[in-house]
Structure 1
Amino acid sequence: MTSAPPSADMPSAAIEAVMREQALAVGYAPAAAREGFAALLDLDHQLAGILRTTSEPMIGQMRLTWWHEALEELDHEPAPAHPVLQRLAASVLPVGVRGGDLAPMVEGWEVLLDDGEPLDDERIARHAEARGGVLFARVAQLLGEGAQWTPLGTAWARADLAGHLSDKAMAGRAGGVAASELDRLLARKPAKGARGLTGLAILARESLRHPDRLPGHPLRAVRLAWHGLTGR
């Protein structure tokens, strides 16, 4: 295996608030799936951190390539001494999720690397499908659910990205598409076991509806708790 990539910076207060909210959502998943659910979110944060902390696209590409190879190698090699990879090997792979099944998440983040071309709707769609669609599909696998959660993951990732785009017109389009999809996909009451997963989507929709309520706002926690209890 290639040498380990540089460590990402410690999370900022804003990132820590997001992680605490996500931990609350994970708490609504069945106990047997929580460790794997959290490990998959750890992977997503690790990949996001590469883009957040790398100013040179070539360096970012090298770091993402390392992760793509490392995930695929989990299928035939012991996990290296990296806490995220070890956590995935311990709690996700035993359920039947392959490292190669997770590698497309890396490709979703690669789409956002600055290659001199403007970010457009097609690239946003590719990011959302490869990042969120794959993440939600793999969490659903841990929960014993089917592939019906993939579109919700795509909408979740699109909503999250919309909140971080500096181009207001692009952010508005991405957010509008995500809001419509989240409303449609969350209209049906989910089974209790899936409410950790749908809770993430509820938080994403709250960010679109109430952009002034940042992660950690008490009303977001109340909304998530209500969803966890009622499915609404």
Structure 2
Amino acid sequence: MFKNPSLPPAAPERALILTYAPPGVRGGLAAMLALDDAVANILRSTREPMLVQMRLTWWHDALTKLDAAPPPAEPVLQALASDVLPFGIEGAQLARLVEGWEALSEGDPCEAGVRVGYAVGRGGALFALAARLLGDARFDTAGAGQGWALADLARNLADPAAAAAARAEAETALVPALARRWPGSLRSLGALAHLAAMDLRTPAAQPLPAATPGRVARLAWHRLTGR
């Protein structure tokens, strides 16, 4: 399904974007993104469908159990328990992020419905929960989150037709989301969406640039203006 067996996030840009979050919840946002990275790497590095499903199920169950028991000795789960759950977000709600990846693992990304289920379950849910954590759940982050997820999918699918469709859907979702002015509390999420839009402008055959002056300047402008 994926052409890259493992694709870690661009660490300098991720670190920069996290500084846009209010200090008191910065660790929680980092933990949410680390959760997404951990689940993403299951699909990127595992070729056996049964093993993929087993590992996704493990994460889903482990997240749900955070509501009733201390976390096991797993760094991401411990970070979520200490930095996210105290802000009123439940483990069962975090488990829904896994369901977005399950939609992709169980279906064919050439099908529009599969891509929608993935985008809503991964990006839409992640941005919505992150907005709650960051203190402004009323701001509509759905398009930005879905576009962010689809942009990542577009660059990593091995099937050219599915990748092209995901790219078009990402562009459609991101245009109105990034035409808005983002509130200061949510500019870390807006920056992730802007980063996704910049990624889409890089040809799929080329590696993504990381922390170039132009990209950093665009992110800094968003932090300053919300645009």
TM-score with structure 1 setting the length: 0.88
Which residue identity lines up with residue 224 of structure 1 in the other structure? L
Whether 1:193 aligns to 2:185 is yes
Q: Is the 8 A contact 1:105 1:135 kept in 2?
A: yes
Which residue identity lines up with residue 128 of structure 2 in the other structure? A
Q: Give the equivalent residue in structure 2 for 1:216.
A: 210
CA distance in 1, matches of 2:201, 2:116: 21
Q: Give the equivalent residue in structure 2 for 1:6.
A: none
SS at match of 1:80: coil
Q: Give the equivalent residue in structure 2 for 1:124.
A: 115
Q: Give the equivalent residue in structure 1 for 2:65.
A: 73
CA distance in 2, matches of 1:221, 1:172: 27
Alignment of 1:48-197 (within 5 A): 48-113=40-105, 117=108, 119-147=110-138, 148-197=140-189
CA distance in 1, matches of 2:202, 2:173: 17
Per-residue Cα deviation, 1:114-141 (whole angstroms, up to 9, x for no partner): 66x5631110110010001111011101
Q: 1:137 to 1:215 in 2, by over 3 A?
A: farther
CA distance in 1, matches of 2:120, 2:12: 24
CA distance in 1, matches of 2:129, 2:47: 30
**Counterpart pick for 2:17 among 14, 20, 25:** 25
Q: Give the equivalent residue in structure 1 for 2:8.
A: 15
Q: CA RMSD in A?
A: 1.8
CA distance in 1, matches of 2:158, 2:38: 22
Q: Is the 8 A contact 1:195 1:227 kept in 2?
A: yes
SS at match of 1:113: helix
Q: What displacement does 1:221 show?
A: 2.1
Q: What displacement does 1:68 show?
A: 0.4
Specify every segment of 5 or more residues in structure 2 that has no aligned partner in the other structure, as ranges. Answer: none
Q: Give the equivalent residue in structure 2 for 1:4.
A: none
CA distance in 2, matches of 1:32, 1:76: 24
SS at match of 1:111: helix
Q: Is the 8 A contact 2:109 2:115 kept in 1?
A: no
CA distance in 2, matches of 1:213, 1:183: 23
Aligned residues: 219
Percent identical pairs in the alignment equals 49
Q: Give the equivalent residue in structure 2 for 1:225.
A: 220
CA distance in 2, matches of 1:130, 1:223: 28
Q: Give the equivalent residue in structure 2 for 1:5.
A: none
Per-residue Cα deviation, 1:149-177 (whole angstroms, up to 9, x for no partner): 13321121111111111222222222112
Which residue identity lines up with residue 214 of structure 1 in the other structure? L
TM-score with structure 2 setting the length: 0.90
Specify every segment of 5 or more residues in structure 1 that has no aligned partner in the other structure, as ranges. Answer: 1-10
Per-residue Cα deviation, 1:161-203 (whole angstroms, up to 9, x for no partner): 1111122222222211211221111111111221101000000
